[in-house]
Structure 1
Amino acid sequence: MRSVSGDSNAVLPWLVIRQDGQGNRYRVGSYATRAEAQLLAERLGREGAGAGHGADGYLVEHLDRVR
């Protein structure tokens, strides 16, 4: 697991991943809880759809399960 720089006790195992229409994946951020990550993924999905980026999807994955 990855820790926040400067704070060895804070672990951020939940990732928000953006996947584009060609299947390329990009890490958007790391979060302490699934709920935090899910909120961001949903918000980004709504904003992206309004901006015409409908092919992009935002996924939440645990660090242990990242492809």
Structure 2
Amino acid sequence: MNDSGAVLPWLVIRQDDNGNRYRVGRYATRAEAQKMADSLDARGHKQLYWVERIGQSVQ
């Protein structure tokens, strides 16, 4: 939970060219998170973006 009490279990993660991973944002729904990941991916930069739920990680 954040300070407002809202649950934001969906993350957008970015991986750079060196394999470093960063949390871009947290979202209430998978659809919101996927929309943001798609928007960032559409910019054409060589970053990898994906969505995951808190507690679920990509190895």
Question: What TM-score do the two structures reach when normalised by structure 1?
Answer: 0.79
Q: Structure 1 regions of 5+ residues with no counterpart?
A: none
Paired position in structure 1 for 2:2: 4
The equivalent position to 1:16 in structure 2, one of 12, 17, 29, is 12
Query: Which contiguous aligned blocks of 4+ residues in structure 1 show a shift greater than 3 angstroms?
Result: none
The higher radius of gyration belongs to: 1
Which structure shows the higher helix fraction? Answer: 1
The equivalent residue for 1:59 is: 50
Structure with higher strand content: 1
Equivalenced residue count is 58
Which residue is equivalent to 1:25? Answer: 21
Letter in 2 for 1:30: R
- Give me the TM-score of the superposition, normalised by structure 2: 0.88
Identity %: 55
